[in-house]
Amino acid sequence: MTDRVYPSAKPAAAATANPAFPATKAQLYGATRPTYRPQPHHRRRSKRRCCCTFFFWLILTVLVLLLLIGIAGTAFYLLYRPHRPTFTVTSLKLSYLNLTASSTLNSRFDVTVSATNPNKKILFAYDPTSIAILSGDVDVGDGTVPAFLHGKKNTTLIKTSIVSTGSALQSDDASRLKSSMKNKNGLPLTVNLETKVKAKTGKLKTPKVGIRVSCDGIRVNLPSGKKPATASTSHAKCNVDVRFKIWKWTI
């Protein structure tokens, strides 16, 4: 009895071994396109978290400092009730004011300024004070007052003589000054004081701050003889401005 030989069955893979030819675009695209694998971003996230944490604590620290400063300032105000010093021009005399043809100015003023400290527990220590007398925008005299200590509930008289000899003026300034000197109502003047001051109460001392005092509403007639002319100061008003210096800027 002879054995029958049956053909062996072809593997299933043989059916797909020869794909359709030519290959379709989808098959080519799928074969060459790399598999997308998203990369982890742990480092970026950690940096962002560090920055956010840093700014959070920075802002929190600033807010806490501002709160503490506000509480300290409120406590200081309630305890000491600080007030600004006040200033008044009580007397101003003009001995002479001459303007030559070459725009050279010679002048002499005798000024008395009253400084009042209204505080019961605070005294003021002033640096040397510069005094300038202006007529409009024209500087007609400059002087300096020595440093002094302003006691509690005290009124101090600041007296000084301001002499200007041979000061050269610009032509425009000289023209404006000549016009003001012919005013029938008198020569308008402004007295400016500028200095630095610090407050003291017990052992507590504040840093020095700049102050500028501007007193206007003063008028004086030119003297006709050797006797000085007395200015009218009844309408004089003085404004006190505190000036803080932040780096290169003064506010």
Instruction: Give the whole-angstrom CA distance, residue 173 versus residue 137.
Output: 8
Instruction: Give the whole-angstrom CA distance, residue 112 versus residue 115.
Output: 10
The verdict on 75 and 107 lying in the same domain is no
Is the CB of residue 111 less than 8 Å from the CB of residue 131?
A: yes
Instruction: Tell me the pTM.
Output: 0.68
The verdict on 218 and 196 lying in the same domain is yes
Tell me the per-residue pLDDT of 189-210, one tens digit each, with 9 for 90 and over. 999 999 999 988 888 888 899 9
Whether 23 maps to a domain, the answer reads no
Quick check: 156 pLDDT over 70? yes
Instruction: Give the whole-angstrom CA distance, residue 187 versus residue 109.
Output: 13
The verdict on 143 and 72 lying in the same domain is no
The verdict on 107 and 128 lying in the same domain is yes
**What's residue 61's pLDDT?**
87
